[in-house]
Amino acid sequence: MTALVTGGASGIGYAIVEELAGFGARIHVCDISEAKLNQSLSEWEKKGFQVSGSVCDVASRPEREELMQTVSSQFDGKLNILVSNVGVIRSKPTTEYTEDDFAFHISSNVEAAYHFSQVSHPLLKASGYGSIIFVSSIAGVISFDAGSIYGLTKGALIQLAKNLACEWAKDGIRANAVA
């Protein structure tokens, strides 16, 4: 199995990489922090895991496209698992959010996941067994007293997973959201 885990050098992404690598998957990780990425890659190498990595700001379309070219080359045009893990939050009352806050959340949490789905589709389909996992949040299902934009973006991921699960089933690609 092959996998791409976005934001995989720390937190939930790191734990997902550890689990997949423990099952023997070959994994490519991207992270915005070169220092965290290098530290994690060193730890995984010591464990004998097959993990490579790239620095990538998922809010950048050109960087996402470059990352997918790297993944395609590395995995011979096939990908079994896309874990869209990156998520950002600026928690504040709705009336205090700015245009920049909105753009920050949408580009990192929704646009990146959507675009990664699009550009990974041919690789997932070519694998004969593709799976997309969106790391959403309970904030996408229930309400909180702050972080409305974050909740909006995480709810969007849940809906995206539902749509892709129906649309891409014919291509042998599953899509799920985990909160």
The first and second tokens of residue 109, run together, are: 């949490």
Instruction: Give the integer Cα–Cα distance in Å for 6 and 133.
Output: 11
Instruction: Read off the pTM.
Output: 0.96
Integer CA distances (angstroms), 69 to 26, 40, 58, 80, 165, in order: 16, 22, 14, 15, 24
The first and second tokens of residue 131, run together, are: 């799976």
Give the 3-state secondary structure of residue 58. coil
Give per-residue pLDDT as tens, 90-143: 999 999 999 999 999 999 999 999 999 999 999 999 999 999 999 999 999 998
Q: What's the pLDDT band for 7 if we cut at 50, 70, 90?
A: very high
Candidates 14, 97, 114, 150; catalytic one: 150
Q: Is 150 a catalytic residue?
A: yes
> What number is the average pLDDT over the span 19-33?
98
Give per-residue pLDDT as tens, 144-162: 888 899 999 999 999 999 9
